[in-house]
Amino acid sequence: MAEVGFKDRLNDALSAARSVIGVLAGCAALALFVSEFGAIQNATDKFLAHAGAVTKLSVAGFEVELDQKTVSTALASVMDQLDSRRLSGPATEMIAKLGPAEFARLMDIGRLGPVCEYDKASAQMRADVAIDYLLKEKELARLVANPDRLTRVTAQSQQKAEAGAEDPHGAATFCYSLELTGLGHDVRTALVQTFKFAFNASGGATQPRPATKPDAVAGL
């Protein structure tokens, strides 16, 4: 009976997740939440411990969806931390348009270092950079040129060439840091707060531990 109770609470938590984002990014996205956001770490730890017993969820494809009401509630819970002029529509509208890869990358901003583009980049590297440009087009992030990084990477490539070792990715053509815009910050805050809201609503969350990286999500 205890297990049934947990399933019911979990289903109640996930019932707030119907029909806006769809499948986010599988367990990899959940891992980002576990590692980066201490505010929901206890809740997700408990979920992971029981996930195998939940027949509606698969280990390889953790599905979470958010509805307009849940996101709006989450936004309202942090009104004192956000610009109230941006709370009404843009963030929730943008969340509906996020793809899984964009969602995962948005969570990563501020954690990863500068990114460089190369003239012989692999298909995966080009795909990763393309996601950054998509976030820029959606006005969720800024690509800020990082000339110091470009200088260092170029120097390293020259050293390899002088030593007779060819860089498989070729020469770096542009290096940049990815930074959240105001809208991007609102969207990510809404997502994190929504997860906290959903798990707290299930009765399964405990008092969160302090974040291991306080600057991972600015303003939280």
- Buried residues in 61-87 as b, exposed as e (16+ CB within 10 A): ebebbbbeebbbbbbeebeeebeeeeb
Backbone angles phi, psi at 117, to 5 degrees: -100, 145
Dihedral sign of CA atoms 35, 57, 21, 134 in order: positive
Residue 104 scores a pLDDT above 90: no
Of 29, 68, 73, give the one whose Cα is nearest residue 200. 73
Q: Which residues contact 8 (CB under 8 A, 6 or more apart)?
A: none
- DSSP character for 177? E
- Token pair of 186, please? 């609102």
What does the pLDDT look like over 121-177, one tens digit per residue?
889 899 989 999 999 999 999 999 999 999 999 998 888 888 888 888 888 999 999
pLDDT at 131: 92
Whole-angstrom distance, CA of residue 187 vs CA of residue 63: 19
Of 138, 143, 130, 144, give the one whose Cα is nearest residue 188. 138
- pTM score above 0.75: no
Dihedral sign of CA atoms 7, 8, 10, 16 in order: positive
What does the pLDDT look like over 61-75, one tens digit per residue?
444 444 445 445 554
What are the domain boundaries of the chain? 2-201
Number of residues assigned to the chain: 220
Residue carrying the six token digits 């390889």: 60
